[in-house]
Amino acid sequence: MPPRITVMLALGLLCGTAAAASAQTHVSHAKLAKASADVPLFTLERTQCKGMCAEYKLSIYSDGQVTYDGKANVSKAGRWRATISRQEVNDILGNFQRLNYFSLENSYAGAGLGPNPIAITSWRQNDRVKTITHDEGSPFSPEALTTLEERIDAAVQSADWVR
């Protein structure tokens, strides 16, 4: 086979392989983006206490979708969905960043099952995930953590919930 044809065939094979690899990478990025959208960006869960504390979990996604699971002592029991604005999501993310959330302790404990509920927050940033368990009666937790929890609750107060 003449050298010119051999080079042309080799280039054709190389281009075809590169195109296939590029298509595979595109598919992988699309799957990764979908998987990221399926995982909450941040969550807030409030658990039981000795009193009549509301027990529920909020999961908020990067596109503004919110899932609410009402468990006990709540006005809306069961699973509900709503949407908040991306600006609202970004504002809450700013609160996580200003708090330097990843540098905080994993737990701010109180004296066990007390009159105060436990708030469990989590934040996913790329491949990092941090979860903090916060007894709301703990004298050791940063005030800004309570403010963050309240901010997440406030973001969904006026949402239109659907089943």
Is the same domain home to 23 and 74? no
Strand-pair category, 118-125 with 42-46? antiparallel
How far apart, in Å, do the first and last CA atoms of the chain sit? 69
CA distances from 130 to 1, 58, 67, 91 (A): 62, 16, 19, 19
The confidence score (pLDDT) of residue 114 equals 61
Residue 151 CA to its chain's centroid (Å): 15
Between 1 and 64, the higher pLDDT residue: 64
The confidence score (pLDDT) of residue 115 equals 74
The confidence score (pLDDT) of residue 100 equals 97
> In this predicted model, what pLDDT tens digit does every residue of 8-64 receive, in sequence order?
444 444 444 444 444 443 444 444 344 446 899 999 999 988 778 899 999 999 999
Is the same domain home to 66 and 100? yes
> In this predicted model, what pLDDT tens digit does every residue of 68-123 receive, in sequence order?
999 999 999 999 999 999 999 999 999 999 999 999 999 998 755 567 889 999 99
Residue 149 has pLDDT above 50, yes or no: yes
> Could you give the angle at the alpha carbon of 108 between the alpha carbons of 124 and 57, nearest 5°?
50
CATH of residue 112: 3.30.1560.10
The confidence score (pLDDT) of residue 130 equals 98
Range of the domain at 95: 39-155
DSSP structural state of residue 146: H
The model's pTM: 0.75
Is the same domain home to 82 and 43? yes
Is the same domain home to 92 and 16? no
The total number of structural domains that make up the chain: 2
Whole-number Å distance between alpha carbons of 37 and 153: 21
Whole-number Å distance between alpha carbons of 23 and 2: 32
With respect to residue 87, please indicate whether it lies within any of the assigned structural domains: yes
Whole-number Å distance between alpha carbons of 68 and 82: 8
